[in-house]
Structure 1
């Protein structure tokens, strides 16, 4: 993809994955820096050399939702990057979600949609490593994925955190719901805008 393309990012997650390695007072896991790295706030060499993202994604081209598990440093990093955080109430409101998504789509050429299964209520992902409170119903998350896909600007789509090997805690049900999230996107992904 040419570097002249404006890239948008929609990051759907219960956790704010935007820690800053260089200023963190505690060890940082790679899973906790993906957003801040793409936004150009941390690990620039890794972003460029390993990920191939030579220029960071502008904060005003990023939607983060709902990030209900967040500490003060990550909240500050979101603000510093000018990333739009949509709270859980906006994620639940189809019209409000669609407005935000369509606004972003009108400002960028392509969009990457990333969905962490922990956005769901814990009952849908019993094999997840640690229950995350105040999640969303499966049908709400699937609806919101479809809304993003309908922009026609998706070039990349990922669903993660459905791969924990806790079969004794409902692994099959967790994977089934993960597959439904994947299907919600793929069934509405009509074209790649390149």
Structure 2
């Protein structure tokens, strides 16, 4: 909850200043994530060995042609694992090719926003339009395209513009327009 976060930030800043706060907050975030993850593991082990059959998971996957979960009762971790794998691969490519700069940051930010958008659409029972995901090349296509571009020495600036306009601009406009149309039909 946000109240506890503000309390932790306030107390840490009074006790030790900004440096202490920026040291303590990631530690507290890690502890919080570990506690939540531990609870999730305990509950998952007690579940039946079948998938949740939830569209919430499938709508977040962003995989070409795959409309089902493949981890059975562990499917709740699938989207996070896929996001982590994509991030590690892209950051590794950028680091290996010495491309850690503004275009790489914009590409990563745009892709992470896309996943955030997918999550919140799924939580609302919606799915991102297939054409929008296809323009984003799905997870595998994005990694392959950016990897080839980086290894071939192409400028990442064009990809940064493309993904930011698509995922930040077009995706947001599409969502607003869809909800505006839905709102006018009520």
Q: TM-score of the superposition, structure 1-length normalised?
A: 0.25
Q: TM-score of the superposition, structure 2-length normalised?
A: 0.26
Q: Please say which structure displays the higher CA radius of gyration.
A: 2
By percentage of residues, which structure has more strand? 1
By percentage of residues, which structure has more helix? 2
